[in-house]
Amino acid sequence: MEHFDDLVAAYRILAEHGVIDAYGHVSIRSPDNPQRYYIARSLAPEVVQVEDIMEYDLDSKPLDERGRESVRERFIHGEIYKARPDVKAIVHSHSPSVIPFGVSKTRLQPIYHMSSFMGVDVPVFEIRDVAGSASDLLVRNARLGAALANVLGDKTVVLMRGHGSVTVGTSIPQVVFRAYYAEMNARLQSEAIKLGAVTYLTADEAAASAKTNDALVMRPWELWKRKVTKPE
Amino acid sequence: MEHFDDLVAAYRILAEHGVIDAYGHVSIRSPDNPQRYYIARSLAPEVVQVEDIMEYDLDSKPLDERGRESVRERFIHGEIYKARPDVKAIVHSHSPSVIPFGVSKTRLQPIYHMSSFMGVDVPVFEIRDVAGSASDLLVRNARLGAALANVLGDKTVVLMRGHGSVTVGTSIPQVVFRAYYAEMNARLQSEAIKLGAVTYLTADEAAASAKTNDALVMRPWELWKRKVTKPE
Amino acid sequence: MEHFDDLVAAYRILAEHGVIDAYGHVSIRSPDNPQRYYIARSLAPEVVQVEDIMEYDLDSKPLDERGRESVRERFIHGEIYKARPDVKAIVHSHSPSVIPFGVSKTRLQPIYHMSSFMGVDVPVFEIRDVAGSASDLLVRNARLGAALANVLGDKTVVLMRGHGSVTVGTSIPQVVFRAYYAEMNARLQSEAIKLGAVTYLTADEAAASAKTNDALVMRPWELWKRKVTKPE
Amino acid sequence: MEHFDDLVAAYRILAEHGVIDAYGHVSIRSPDNPQRYYIARSLAPEVVQVEDIMEYDLDSKPLDERGRESVRERFIHGEIYKARPDVKAIVHSHSPSVIPFGVSKTRLQPIYHMSSFMGVDVPVFEIRDVAGSASDLLVRNARLGAALANVLGDKTVVLMRGHGSVTVGTSIPQVVFRAYYAEMNARLQSEAIKLGAVTYLTADEAAASAKTNDALVMRPWELWKRKVTKPE
């Protein structure tokens, strides 16, 4: 199934670019049934294969467990798919340049057109507000997933304090593009801030640019997919 | 044709060194007709081949389209070739260390001899001045290209706020050298600024050094070209 | 012996990830005799093989020298194994992002769940307090090793001013995980500090998260081990 | 000749580690005649081979030119060999993290034992003091080389404002070690400064540590040499 091939490719692409480490994950909503989603079993992203993909309902209950271990934080995915019918693909990562923005008061903002999809407000999910100050920081149940989805609102990215971030999109190529350029933006914004006052994209620029970029997400996708699927 | 081989090599070299990502481009003015230029079709730079090169007039109208998709921002190239008869090769990139200088008041300046070609003034193109504050930031028509060429003036590099930069030169090896060392200078200048007051090259040092370096651009070029064209 | 294979893999994994350079080392307490430990002879980590592993008593006297040269700083290992019966594996590294925290007053603290094992206090060993201000900074005898073990106390990481750090754990996979994420945390914390005030993990969050992560250390370990042991 | 193999390996090792780019060079004093030195012809370091090595007298006059182009800055080497009979090997590089220290008032200082060879004073050569403010910054004649050697004095490293640095030693393995760790120190010191006041090595610590390290330079050298000389 092409969707599964793309999902496997997404895991590998994001691992190769350092967006996800051994603990990130990618999911897609089922193209056949919007009440279902697919995500890999608990496994290092670089080695995910089609047979590692599991199916879940939107309560994040596995439908074809067959002895495979589910990722603990699948509720991130299920609850966002519930709250956001427009979302078809989700990435959860600990992408390194984004982490510092989740623990400081400096907001992540688009400094160039490639990250215009972020708009002018990237919210931060403070798990202490829901789980108190002694949690293990994982979104390990539906209640926490719903709280995260609530902070995400209608945005494309939400940061998770002391943990990572979540990026959503309408397709795998788009969400991979977004996860990659969220990381790039964080790196560049951090450097730019050290140089002095920064001119960010206006809301209108971000909106116009995001629309343009949506038509161009296949260019890196095809390159990236080719690189992770070529015979060794 | 050797010029096409060099153009293809330039795409790959700049991609390999992280100067261009999936969206940058390189062009050459036609050696036979100064009213024509060559640039690759809309494609990820790493996979560009000779058959992807298209010919344009200086209004950026494709002359041999054959169903191939033109890059939207080809007007950067056409308008600079119009305004600058001395320019024979152009690189447009989103090279990461340069981006922060395009969005802050800190000017890019040469901190070492390798980037002396920048001289002591690297201008910044603010697209809002021409396209207003709701553009998608792309140089998508001749009017924006001409405005960019105007800000470039007689310099070698122009930064584009919230977008990237353009480097020009008299040959492919030289413009690739310049695009590479503009990125390096940005990285080193950013670090130097954090250490305190910086001694930059004087205008005279920059001019003398740029002249010297022009005689040395083939040394990295030959190495870089060999690396991207060796059989796999 | 599986323990030896894992120990060899640990050297290579840490070298591949830039946690140890040509001078770091990893040891394990003997699973058969808690009064013994194993560590490689004086050799660059990347090329360590099973035959390079030597056995020591807790006074760091080699038991099977066979002409092989011991690492000078083995006393780090022997003295910590003496002082900390719970410790089964130790990494000593010069991991680059951690070094700056050893020479400044800024304390290393967990900014995300992956480094929760550090707790809220990472002590710094100032060798001048024991060896005076003219030492070569190496922990080259039992007295210095014991002083270092004393500063480590019941923690998981201790920084060494002007030198590096030591990470301890209950297994090789866990100590490799810890050495890797101590380096990552240092890199991210340094970036976060530049963005403004940082929200660190609370002591309770760190404790809860460390417990969770302990159950997940095999996920990166299996991936990492596979990569360094695959046939070339 | 083993010395030539080591010299070729040095070029490749330093290129592989990013210490020299297309323009750096390494030389050795002739083991047979202290009035002679060897350095590669003008060529990218990564591709240097034994047949590219040329012989010079201490006035930097080539003795076996055979149509090969000399590097312009060979006077760095000749004049230092004249002034410093103890020096047997020299590296000139544009190593990136060191450049910022050459253009700011912040002095390069050892923050850890690996860079103790720098001692507590790394001088900076300001070419303007000798060549005026309109030079091309290259050490292109004996007068400039002698001025640089004079600023180096009896030290191991000298920075060159707006250009790069020179590292000297008593053997190829040692000078390669030093050039590598000078770059590492610059990177780490820059990060440490951003964290606040830094505790540097004392002069006595630096001296004791440098003596210890001299006995250990073969450990990385053997690894590095193996990696650049293995059959492809």
Q: Which two tokens stand for residue C51?
A: 């035959």
ipTM summary value: 0.95
- Within an 8 Å CB–CB cutoff, is residue B17 touching chain D? no
pLDDT score of A121:
87
What span, in angstroms and rounded, lies between the C-alpha atoms of C80 and C160?
14
pLDDT score of A84:
98
Please indicate whether, in this complex, the C-beta atoms of A192 and B97 are within 8 angstroms of each other: no
CB-nearest partner of B113 from D47, D136, D190: D136
Q: Which two tokens stand for residue A19?
A: 């967006």
Burial of D217: CB neighbours in 10 Å, binned 0-12, 13-18, 19+? buried
Separation in Å, CA of A190 to nearest CA in chain C: 7
Please indicate whether, in this complex, the C-beta atoms of C94 and D112 are within 8 angstroms of each other: yes
Chain A residue with minimum CA distance to B188:
A191
* Partners of chain C (3+ Cβ pairs below 8 A): A, D
- Reduced to 3 states, what is the DSSP secondary structure of residue C148? helix
- Within an 8 Å CB–CB cutoff, is residue A25 touching chain C? no
What span, in angstroms and rounded, lies between the C-alpha atoms of A195 and A120?
21
Nearest CA-CA partner of D45 in D91, D11, D6: D11
pLDDT band at B223 (very low <50, low <70, confident <90, very high): very high
pLDDT score of C121:
87
Please indicate whether, in this complex, the C-beta atoms of B114 and D94 are within 8 angstroms of each other: yes
pLDDT score of A1:
65
Pair D125, D56: CB distance under 8 Å: no
pLDDT score of A201:
98
pLDDT score of D22:
86
Chain A residue with minimum CA distance to C232:
A232
Mutate to test the interface with A, among B99, B126, B140 (most CBs of A within 10 A): B99
Separation in Å, CA of B45 to nearest CA in chain D: 23
pLDDT score of C231:
61
Please indicate whether, in this complex, the C-beta atoms of B190 and A188 are within 8 angstroms of each other: no
The string over C39-74, giving b where at least 16 C-beta atoms fall within 10 Å of a residue's C-beta and e elsewhere, is: bbbbbbbbbbeeebbbebebebebeeeeeeebbbbb
pLDDT band at B231 (very low <50, low <70, confident <90, very high): low
Please indicate whether, in this complex, the C-beta atoms of C104 and D192 are within 8 angstroms of each other: yes
Separation in Å, CA of D12 to nearest CA in chain B: 13
Sort residue D153 into left (φ over 0), alpha (ψ -120 to 50) or beta: left
Measuring CA to CA, how many Å separate C68 from each of A135, C41, C51, D212? Answer: 49, 6, 10, 19
Please indicate whether, in this complex, the C-beta atoms of A111 and B133 are within 8 angstroms of each other: no
Q: Read off φ and ψ for residue B136, nearest 5 degrees.
A: -90, 10
Contact residues, chain D, for B205 at CB < 8 Å: 133-137, 162
Chain C residue with minimum CA distance to D187:
C96
The string over B103-115, giving b where at least 16 C-beta atoms fall within 10 Å of a residue's C-beta and e elsewhere, is: bbebebbbbbbbb
Please indicate whether, in this complex, the C-beta atoms of A96 and C184 are within 8 angstroms of each other: yes
Block mean pLDDT (10 aa), chain D, length 232: 91 96 94 98 94 98 96 97 98 98 97 97 97 97 98 98 98 98 98 96 98 94 90 54
Please indicate whether, in this complex, the C-beta atoms of A223 and B46 are within 8 angstroms of each other: yes
Strands (E), chain A: 25-29, 36-40, 53-57, 89-93, 124-125, 157-160, 164-169
Average pLDDT, chain B: 96
Contact residues, chain A, for C117 at CB < 8 Å: none
Please indicate whether, in this complex, the C-beta atoms of B223 and D22 are within 8 angstroms of each other: yes
What span, in angstroms and rounded, lies between the C-alpha atoms of C125 and C133?
14
CB-nearest partner of A99 from C188, C200, C208: C188
In the annotation, is A73 catalytic?
yes
* Partners of chain D (3+ Cβ pairs below 8 A): B, C
Residues 6+ apart with CB under 8 A from C213: C113, C114, C116, C117, C177
pLDDT score of D231:
61
Q: What's the per-residue H, E or C state across C55-80?
A: EEECCCCECCCCCCCCCHHHHHHHHH
What span, in angstroms and rounded, lies between the C-alpha atoms of B166 and B185?
15
Q: How many CA atoms lie within 13 A of B107 on its CB side?
A: 13
- Reduced to 3 states, what is the DSSP secondary structure of residue C18? coil
Across B86-114, average pLDDT: 97
Predicted confidence (pLDDT) at residue B230 exceeds the cutoff of 80 = no
Contact residues, chain B, for D163 at CB < 8 Å: 112-113
Contact residues, chain A, for B94 at CB < 8 Å: 112, 114
The letter for the amino acid at B91 is V
Q: Read off φ and ψ for residue B27, nearest 5 degrees.
A: -135, 160
Contact residues, chain A, for B76 at CB < 8 Å: none
CB-nearest partner of A190 from C191, C220, C226: C191
User: pLDDT tens, A100-113?
Assistant: 999 999 999 999 99
Helical spans, DSSP H, in chain C: 2-16, 75-83, 99-102, 128-131, 142-152, 172-195, 203-214, 218-229
DSSP assigned state of A161: T
Contact residues, chain A, for C199 at CB < 8 Å: 103-104, 161-162
In chain D, residues 107-136 whose CB comes closer than 8 Å to chain B: 133-136
Residues 6+ apart with CB under 8 A from D142: D59, D60, D75, D78, D79
Question: To which residue do tokens 């120190």 refer?
Answer: D185
User: pLDDT tens, D61-110?
Assistant: 999 999 999 999 999 999 999 999 999 999 999 999 999 999 999 999 99
Separation in Å, CA of D11 to nearest CA in chain C: 19
Please indicate whether, in this complex, the C-beta atoms of D164 and B112 are within 8 angstroms of each other: yes
Q: Which two tokens stand for residue B158?
A: 């122009």
Chain D residue with minimum CA distance to B211:
D136
* Angle of helix C172-195 versus helix C218-229 axis, rounded to 10: 110
Tens-digit pLDDT string for chain C (232 aa): 678 999 999 999 999 999 998 889 999 999 999 999 999 999 999 999 999 999 999 999 999 999 999 999 999 999 999 999 999 999 999 999 999 999 999 999 999 999 999 999 899 999 999 999 999 999 999 999 999 999 999 999 999 999 999 999 999 999 999 999 999 999 999 999 999 999 999 999 999 999 999 999 999 999 999 999 876 4
Separation in Å, CA of B95 to nearest CA in chain D: 17
Contact residues, chain A, for C116 at CB < 8 Å: 136-137
Across B87-92, average pLDDT: 98
Q: Which two tokens stand for residue B52?
A: 């992807």
What span, in angstroms and rounded, lies between the C-alpha atoms of B209 and B177?
14
Please indicate whether, in this complex, the C-beta atoms of A197 and B105 are within 8 angstroms of each other: yes
In chain C, residues 156-175 whose CB comes closer than 8 Å to chain D: 161-164
Measuring CA to CA, how many Å separate D151 from each of A197, B177, D76, D155, D167? Answer: 39, 31, 12, 9, 13
Predicted confidence (pLDDT) at residue A139 exceeds the cutoff of 90 = yes
User: pLDDT tens, B144-197?
Assistant: 999 999 999 999 999 999 999 999 999 999 999 999 999 999 999 999 999 999
Predicted confidence (pLDDT) at residue B29 exceeds the cutoff of 90 = yes
User: pLDDT tens, A15-41?
Assistant: 999 999 888 999 999 999 999 999 999
pLDDT score of B1:
65
Edge-to-edge, what's the strand order for the sheet holding A164-169?
Answer: A53-57, A36-40, A25-29, A89-93, A164-169, A157-160, A124-125
Pair C81, C142: CB distance under 8 Å: no
Separation in Å, CA of D124 to nearest CA in chain B: 12
CA B76 to chain centre: 10
Please indicate whether, in this complex, the C-beta atoms of D163 and B223 are within 8 angstroms of each other: no
Please indicate whether, in this complex, the C-beta atoms of A114 and B94 are within 8 angstroms of each other: yes
CB-nearest partner of D106 from B113, B114, B195: B195
Separation in Å, CA of C92 to nearest CA in chain D: 14
Please indicate whether, in this complex, the C-beta atoms of A100 and C112 are within 8 angstroms of each other: no
* Partners of chain A (3+ Cβ pairs below 8 A): B, C
Cβ contacts below 8 Å, chain B against chain D, sum to 98
Characterize the bridge pairing of strands C53-57 and B164-169.
unpaired
Contact residues, chain D, for B212 at CB < 8 Å: 136, 138
Chain B residue with minimum CA distance to A222:
B44
User: pLDDT tens, C29-51?
Assistant: 999 999 999 999 999 999 999 99
Pair C123, C102: CB distance under 8 Å: no
Residues 6+ apart with CB under 8 A from D21: B220, D15, D45, D94
DSSP notation for A178-215: HHHHHHHHHHHHHHHHHHS---PPPHHHHHHHHHHHHT
Separation in Å, CA of D120 to nearest CA in chain C: 13
CB-nearest partner of A197 from B42, B104, B134: B104
pLDDT score of D202:
97
β-partners of residue D165 are D93, D159
Separation in Å, CA of D165 to nearest CA in chain B: 12
Of the residues B73, B126, B183, B222, only one is catalytic, namely B73
Radius of gyration of chain B measured on its C-alpha atoms: 17
- Within an 8 Å CB–CB cutoff, is residue D212 touching chain C? yes
